[in-house]
Amino acid sequence: MLVHLIEERQSVIGDLETSIRAALADVTGAYSICVVSDLEPDVIYCAKTASPLIIGLGEKENFVASDIPAVMRYTRRVLVLEDGDFAKITAGCVQLSTLSGQKIEREVYPVTWDISTAEKGGYPHFMLKEIHEQPQTITDTLRGRITDDFKVTLPELRFQTSKLLSFNRITVVACGTAYHAGMVGKSFYEHLLRRPVDVQVASEFRYSDPLVDSKTLVIIISQSGETADTLAALREAKLKGATTLAIVNVVGSSIAREADEVLYTYAGPEICVASTKAYMTMLIVLYLFGLYIAQEENRMSADIVAAYIADLTEIPRKMAAYLKDTSALQELSYKLATTSSCFFFLGRGVDYAVSMEGALKMKEISYIHAEAYPAGELKHGPLALVEAGVTVICLATQSALYDKMLSNVKEVKAREGIAVAVVKENDAGLDDRTVDAVINTPATDHDVLMPLLSVVPLQLLAYYIASALGRDIDQPRNLAKSVTVE
């Protein structure tokens, strides 16, 4: 126990601060600690390595927390500690130094979020509030990154164009929801850029002897920027000579500081453990970056790039209109909450990537078993589990693959499963004559952008089912918002 190690050092050294420093010099691994003692009741000592820690700077008061939203009620001025930082904190003073005692300075980060975004604002749960915030967060993420003539501009990137275009492969590394966003990015980049794209789970990356080198761009995706496995993967990629680009939400986070380049998602604080608006903005940034590369290497005409961007700018309006009335989806969800023992999510192409996210949301907050499969894999095992009481969510938003999905729906119905289709609005191919229920989602001109819209009903489906079952939606059991240990 660290506290006993400090006590042991103090019995020899006497001075508390020196004892803490001496104890930490013998400690390995990840930690984020605060030390208080009745010997110095007006002082907090804190230090961190590989775990998040911030200091909120107030008027004649200071605060210590693991994340910024915790101190937003009291201050908008924050110090984000870096690995190896040691702080001595009193009500009127913060002294930063290295573990060895060398004085250091850290830039004060001004928090510009509206405090109301960290409160429920009349919604019963943060998750529902954050789902409804998605049109605005998309707008915020796009702001300043699209020119008046519908080109992508990413002024925060320091890449020289020649280097950006020199990468012959892209590797995306992430966990959970961020991994699912990366799967969408893979489909988009390979379609748009004709480069091979790998998507790897961060916790496996270091142990797979990854094939990355100086010609590889490694995209690291994390909401918090503190995910331990993802941070370790970033460091491994850099050791192997790859260039790293971080897509993160939290400014000043470890991943943002250590990556060669960073693109922020500007989702604002996300309180619910199950990610919704952060996932949405990860997708937006992935789309923008892909279009930027295509634009810079003249892979497609300016008119085609402009058409994609025009479609992106319409997403917030379409999503907001859809969210105005979700009563039909709510009614369906309540029925499924009492009739479904298991969920399968099926899709082809980018619909499969979205189905993975839909299944994760269902598992996270409803505690109902849910699995996602490429639809073509249904007859390679999962179909054995389809029977009465099993719901199969069939995503069919990709025009080129639509007919293939129809055959999967027939297989489900033949086994008395509950078939629910997610289709673009005004799509007459699947209706209540062929499936048990239809969820209509707004359409885009480019099918590859459909994940931005088709994921919203899946988020709501999970939310309403969890609500009907009385689950702790914002704080699901056994889960944490930032996974800061391996």
One pLDDT digit (tens) per residue for the chain, 486 residues:
789 999 899 888 889 999 999 999 988 877 889 999 998 999 999 999 867 789 999 999 999 998 777 888 899 899 988 888 999 999 999 999 999 999 999 889 888 766 656 677 778 999 999 999 999 999 999 998 999 899 999 988 988 888 888 898 999 999 999 999 999 999 999 988 888 999 999 999 988 888 899 999 999 999 988 888 999 999 999 999 999 999 999 888 889 999 999 999 999 888 899 999 999 999 999 999 999 999 998 888 889 999 999 999 999 999 999 999 999 999 999 999 988 889 999 999 999 999 999 999 999 999 999 999 998 887 788 788 788 888 999 999 988 887 777 777 778 777 878 889 999 987 766 666 678 889 999 999 999 999 999 999 999 999 999 999 999 999 999 887 666 545
Closest CA to 411 of 462, 346, 356: 346
Beta strands in 235-289 (DSSP E): 243-248, 261-264
Confidence at residue 479, expressed as pLDDT on a 0 to 100 scale: 83
Nearby residues of 354 by Cβ (< 8 Å), 6 or more positions away = 180, 184, 347, 395, 450, 451, 454, 455, 458
Would the CA dihedral through 165, 170, 175, 176 be positive or negative?
positive
Closest CA to 182 of 197, 167, 199: 199
- What's the CA gap between 192 and 178, in Å, rounded? 21
DSSP state of 146: B
**Single-letter residue type at 313:** T
Confidence at residue 93, expressed as pLDDT on a 0 to 100 scale: 94
Domains defined for the chain, CATH in brackets: 2-112 (3.60.20.10), 126-323 (3.40.50.10490), 327-468 (3.40.50.10490)
β 94-98/62-65 pair status: unpaired
Using DSSP's 3-state secondary structure scheme, residue 446 falls into coil
Confidence at residue 446, expressed as pLDDT on a 0 to 100 scale: 94
Confidence at residue 131, expressed as pLDDT on a 0 to 100 scale: 97
> Using an 8 Å Cβ cutoff, are 322 and 453 in contact?
yes
Confidence at residue 486, expressed as pLDDT on a 0 to 100 scale: 55
Nearby residues of 164 by Cβ (< 8 Å), 6 or more positions away = 157, 293, 296
- What's the CA gap between 369 and 390, in Å, rounded? 10
Confidence at residue 158, expressed as pLDDT on a 0 to 100 scale: 87
Confidence at residue 80, expressed as pLDDT on a 0 to 100 scale: 86
Count CA within 13 A, CB hemisphere, residue 303: 0
What distances in angstroms separate CA 62 from CA 25, 134, 333, one per listed residue? 26, 33, 45
Using DSSP's 3-state secondary structure scheme, residue 173 falls into strand
R_g of the chain computed on alpha carbons: 24
Confidence at residue 301, expressed as pLDDT on a 0 to 100 scale: 87
- What's the CA gap between 100 and 103, in Å, rounded? 9
Confidence at residue 118, expressed as pLDDT on a 0 to 100 scale: 61
